[in-house]
C-alpha cells in the first residue's frame, strides 16, 4: 500500500515495530500519525490464541484511534476479513469484530475493507492443517481468495477516496473449495503432501459445516487468478 501510494506522489510513512512504532505499547505512535491526513491499519497479531488476539486488536485499535483523534486524522482505513460477523465462535474473528466496533464508534470518518484470504496465506493454512505423515485434512467449504497485490491496490484506492463510514468487501475472481485451493498451491510448488477432503476438518478451529468464506453480492472483484499468481510466484516444478 505504501509503495502504491508513494508512486502516486503521496507522502507515506510505513510504521510498525520494525521501524520503531508499536501500537501495543504506544511507542512512537503519536509521532507516526502526527500530520497524517489518512491512517491505514493493516496490523496483525503475533498470537492467534483467543485471549491474546482479542487483547491485541482491542489495545492496538484503542491506542491508534486515540492518537489519530489527537492528531486530527480525517480518514481511518482498516483491513478486516470477509465473514467476520459470521464466525463469532472464533477468537480471531471476535477480535476483528471488536476492532471494527471500536473504529465505528471512534467518531473518525472510516472505511472498513473486508478482504478474503490472500493467496499468500494458503501455504500457512496447509502447514496448520498438516497431520502426522504429511496428510492435510481440509473442508470443501467455499472460499474466494485473492492476491495480496490486489488487496493493496484496492486499499490504496479506498485510502484516496471519500470515507465510506461503513464496510466494503473485496474478493478474488474465482470460487474454490478450501481443499482445492490449497491443493493447487501445493501441486504448483512441488509439495508432496496429500490433501484429504474432510467436511469435518476445521478451518483454524472453526467448523465450516454449512458455511463459506465467500463475500456478498456487492463485493469488488479483483482480477488476478490463482493459476496466474502461481505462475508469477513460483518457478515451474520438475
Ligand X SMILES: NC(=O)c1ccc[n+]([C@@H]2O[C@H](COP(=O)([O-])OP(=O)(O)OC[C@H]3O[C@@H](n4cnc5c(N)ncnc54)[C@H](OP(=O)(O)O)[C@@H]3O)[C@@H](O)[C@H]2O)c1
The dihedral region occupied by 35, where left means phi > 0, alpha psi between -120 and 50, and beta the remainder, is left
Q: Which stretch binds ligand X (CB under 6 A): 11-19, 128-136, 158-166, 184-192?
A: 11-19
Residue 113 C-beta: closest distance to ligand X, Å: 8
Residue 115 C-beta: closest distance to ligand X, Å: 4
Restricted to residues 119-178, the positions that interact with ligand X (CB under 6 A) are: 121
Radius of gyration of the chain (CA): 19
Q: Which stretch binds ligand X (CB under 6 A): 5-13, 68-76, 114-122, 160-168?
A: 114-122
Buried b (16+ CB within 10 A) or exposed e, 60-84: bbbbbbebbeebebebbbbbbbbbb
Q: Is 17 in the site for ligand X (CB under 6 A)?
A: yes
Question: What phi and psi, each to the nearest 5 degrees, are found at residue 38?
Answer: -130, 140
CA dihedral angle for residue 165, residue 27, residue 6, residue 169, rounded to 10 degrees: -30
**How many residues make contact with ligand X (CB under 6 A)?**
19
Residue 18 C-beta: closest distance to ligand X, Å: 3
- Map residues 40-79 to x or -, x wherever contact with ligand X holds by CB under 6 A: --xxx-x-------------x------------------x
3-class DSSP string for 169-195: EEECCCCEEHHHHHHHHHHHCCCCCEE
Task: Kindly list the residues in this chain that would bind ligand X in the complex (CB under 6 A).
Answer: 16-18, 21-24, 42-44, 46, 60, 79, 81, 96, 115, 117-118, 121
Amino acid at each position: 500500500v505504501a509503495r502504491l501510494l508513494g508512486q502516486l506522489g503521496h507522502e507515506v510513512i510505513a510504521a510498525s515495530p520494525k521501524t520503531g512504532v508499536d501500537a501495543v505499547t504506544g511507542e512512537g505512535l503519536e509521532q507516526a500519525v502526527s500530520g497524517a491526513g489518512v491512517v491505514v491499519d493493516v496490523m496483525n497479531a503475533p498470537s492467534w490464541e483467543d485471549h491474546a488476539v482479542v487483547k491485541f486488536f482491542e489495545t492496538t485499535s484503542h491506542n491508534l484511534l486515540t492518537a489519530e483523534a489527537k492528531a486530527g486524522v480525517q480518514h481511518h482505513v482498516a483491513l478486516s476479513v470477509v465473514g467476520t460477523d459470521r464466525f463469532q465462535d472464533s477468537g480471531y474473528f471476535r477480535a476483528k469484530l471488536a476492532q471494527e466496533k471500536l473504529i465505528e464508534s471512534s467518531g473518525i470518518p472510516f472505511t472498513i475493507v473486508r478482504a478474503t484470504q490472500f493467496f499468500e496465506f494458503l501455504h500457512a493454512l496447509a502447514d496448520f492443517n498438516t497431520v502426522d505423515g504429511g496428510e492435510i485434512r481440509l473442508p470443501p467449504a467455499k472460499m474466494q481468495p485473492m492476491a495480496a497485490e490486489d488487496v493493496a491496490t484496492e486499499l490504496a484506492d479506498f485510502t484516496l477516496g471519500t470515507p465510506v463510514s461503513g464496510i466494503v468487501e473485496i474478493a478474488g475472481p474465482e470460487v474454490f473449495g478450501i481443499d482445492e485451493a490449497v491443493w493447487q498451491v501445493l501441486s504448483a510448488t512441488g509439495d508432496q503432501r496429500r490433501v484429504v477432503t474432510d467436511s469435518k476438518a476445521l478451518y483454524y478451529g472453526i467448523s465450516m459445516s454449512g458455511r463459506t468464506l465467500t463475500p456478498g453480492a456487492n463485493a469488488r472483484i479483483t482480477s488476478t487468478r490463482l493459476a496466474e499468481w502461481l505462475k508469477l510466484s513460483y518457478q515451474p516444478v520438475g
